[in-house]
């Protein structure tokens, strides 16, 4: 079986570095082209990148040249993955779509467009139906996104409850890791012995994207779920893993044990497709009175599972729990890659796998 050729936009950023790392030894994909800012263009990746992950850059892509993010440099790619920041993505991604590329993006810039699906495969793989509508606007190329890093975990925990009991209102308070802020996050001087109770734009993203993902596609657009969300976001001094405390009102008011059972029994829309990055269980219910904890539980399912614990009654909204997802894996690079795999499995890119 030939491997799909993958291009990466924003390859020197933190999400780009994670994408490269995850593509090492990927069974379906090979890294074929790297794009970054004009400043980096023309240099070998290993020189251009300020590597921020453990160890050193993987040797193969380290030798690839970095291009400016121009479609012509990505011509032979079957797929383009984007780790661009919001501002660059807003400008650059449409040019790739216009040039006919299938763009799978972690960037927030276009998530609110009605015909751009925001996809968590286990939850709303069916939203890929929007691609048809989107192509009526864009031609051959299209754009699929994954949600904000704090939304991914939230919808994975909410979806089983919403399906089984219908969620109506939720208060979610996040304790988010430093890697979620990328390479330009808070200084050590700002975060040691401290918490920053604010992340620009984050509460709005959570409140907007959650309803869209849990909604249904109709007439070429998503009808959002009727679900009021209130988010309070904090940056804490952890490296990886966004923790969240959730109080939720469910229409049929299940007991905690029923909720736990629904979470455990959850099978995603994308299961059975054999996606290489999919975890065995998208939702892990953890025992222990003081779990999940970021450092100890963020690698559940290779960082691709959400971990839910402390499921108990909430005196105000009915049910409360703690949830944890690895923001840099499931919430960013891993989520983008899983979406790319879903597109391949659905026959939406290249000439079809195994052709």
Catalytic residues: 149, 242
CA distances from 116 to 8, 21, 33, 142 (A): 19, 27, 24, 8
Binding flag, residue 226, a copy of itself (CB under 8 A): no
Residue from 25, 59, 219, 289 touching a copy of itself (CB under 8 A): that is 289
Binding a copy of itself by CB under 8 A: which of 18, 67, 111, 310? 310
What number of CA atoms fall less than 13 Å from residue 87's CA on the CB side? 1
Does position 224 bind a copy of itself by CB under 8 A?
Answer: no
Sole binder of a copy of itself in the list 41, 113, 166, 191 (CB under 8 A) = 191
Query: Binding pattern to a copy of itself, positions 230-249, x when CB under 8 A?
Result: x-x-x-xxxx---x-x-x--
For a copy of itself, which is the closer residue by CB, 67 or 310?
Answer: 310
Closest CA to 312 of 264, 265, 257: 257
Give SS3 for 82: strand
Residues 311 and 256 sit within 8 Å (Cβ to Cβ): yes
Q: How far is the CB of 47 from a copy of itself (least distance, A)?
A: 12
Among 86, 195, 255, 265, binds a copy of itself (CB under 8 A): 195
> Tokens 């195994």 correspond to what residue?
354
The residue range among 29-37, 85-93, 196-204, 256-264 that interacts with a copy of itself, by the rule CB under 8 A, is: 196-204
Site size with a copy of itself, rule: CB under 8 A: 61
Q: Which is nearer to a copy of itself, 6 or 306 (CB)?
A: 306
Q: How far is Cα 21 from Cα 14, in angstroms, rounded to an integer?
A: 11
As a whole number of angstroms, the distance between CA 276 and CA 280 comes to 10
Is residue 263 within the footprint of a copy of itself (CB under 8 A)?
no
Residue with tokens 């299209």: 142
78 belongs to the binding site for a copy of itself (CB under 8 A): no
Contacts with a copy of itself in 101-160 (CB under 8 A)?
none
Work out which of 101, 281, 320, 330 binds a copy of itself, going by CB under 8 A. Answer: 320
Q: Does 209 bind a copy of itself (CB under 8 A)?
A: no
85 makes contact with a copy of itself (CB under 8 A): no
From CA 145, how far away is CA 150, in angstroms rounded? Answer: 14
Does residue 193 touch a copy of itself according to CB under 8 A? yes
**From the CB of 187, what's the least distance to a copy of itself, in Å?**
6
- Written as six digits, the tokens of 308 are 């839910």
43 binds a copy of itself (CB under 8 A): no
CB 312 within 8 A of CB 321: yes
Residue (202 or 341) nearer to a copy of itself, CB: 202
* Residue 99 or 245 having the CB closest to a copy of itself: 245
The burial of 115, by beta-carbon neighbours within 10 Å (0-12 exposed, 13-18 middle, 19 or more buried), is given as buried
The burial class, CB within 10 Å (0-12 / 13-18 / 19+), for 11 is buried
Output phi, psi for 37, to 5 deg: -70, 160
99 binds a copy of itself (CB under 8 A): no
Is residue 42 classed exposed, middle or buried when 0-12, 13-18 and 19+ CB atoms within 10 A define those classes?
exposed
What's the CA angle centered on 319, arms 175 and 251, to 5 degrees? 125
Q: Reduced to 3 states, what is the DSSP secondary structure of residue 292?
A: coil
**Interacting residue ranges for a copy of itself, rule: CB under 8 A:** 52-55, 169-171, 173, 175, 178-179, 181, 183-198, 200, 207, 228-230, 232, 234, 236-239, 243, 245, 247, 289-297, 299-300, 309-310, 314-317, 320, 322
């Amino acid at each position: 079986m030939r491997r799909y050729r993958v291009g990466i936009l924003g390859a020197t950023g933190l999400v780009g570095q994670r994408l490269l790392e995850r593509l090492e030894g990927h069974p379906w994909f090979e890294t074929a082209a790297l794009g970054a800012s004009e400043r980096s263009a023309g240099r070998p990746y290993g020189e251009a990148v300020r590597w921020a992950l453990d160890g050193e850059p993987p040797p193969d892509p380290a030798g690839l040249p970095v291009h400016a993010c121009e479609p012509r440099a990505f011509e032979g790619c079957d797929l383009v993955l984007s780790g661009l920041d919001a501002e660059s993505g807003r400008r650059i991604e449409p040019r790739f779509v216009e040039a006919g590329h299938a763009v799978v993006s972690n960037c927030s810039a276009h998530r609110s467009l009605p015909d751009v699906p925001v996809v968590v495969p286990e939850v709303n793989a069916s939203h890929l139906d929007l691609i048809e509508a989107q192509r009526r606007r864009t031609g051959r190329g299209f754009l699929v996104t994954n949600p904000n890093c704090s939304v991914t975990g939230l919808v994975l925990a909410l979806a089983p409850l919403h399906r089984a009991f219908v969620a109506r209102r939720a208060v979610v308070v996040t304790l988010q890791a430093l890697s979620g802020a990328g390479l330009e996050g808070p200084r050590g001087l700002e975060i040691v012995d401290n918490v920053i109770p604010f992340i620009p734009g984050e509460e709005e993203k959570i409140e907007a994207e959650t309803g869209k993902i849990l909604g249904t596609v109709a007439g070429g657009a998503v009808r959002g779920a009727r679900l009021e969300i209130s988010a309070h976001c904090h940056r804490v001094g952890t490296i990886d893993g966004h923790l969240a405390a959730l109080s939720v009102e469910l229409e049929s008011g299940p007991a905690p044990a029923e909720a736990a059972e629904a979470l455990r029994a959850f099978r995603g829309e994308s299961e059975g497709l054999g996606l290489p990055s999919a975890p065995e269980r998208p939702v892990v219910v953890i025992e222990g009175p003081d779990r999940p904890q970021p450092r100890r539980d963020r690698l559940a399912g290779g960082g691709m599972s959400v971990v839910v614990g402390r499921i108990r009654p909430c005196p105000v909204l009915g049910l409360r729990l703690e949830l944890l997802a690895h923001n840099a894996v499931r919430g960013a690079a891993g989520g983008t890659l899983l979406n790319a795999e879903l597109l391949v499995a659905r026959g939406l890119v290249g000439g079809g796998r195994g052709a």
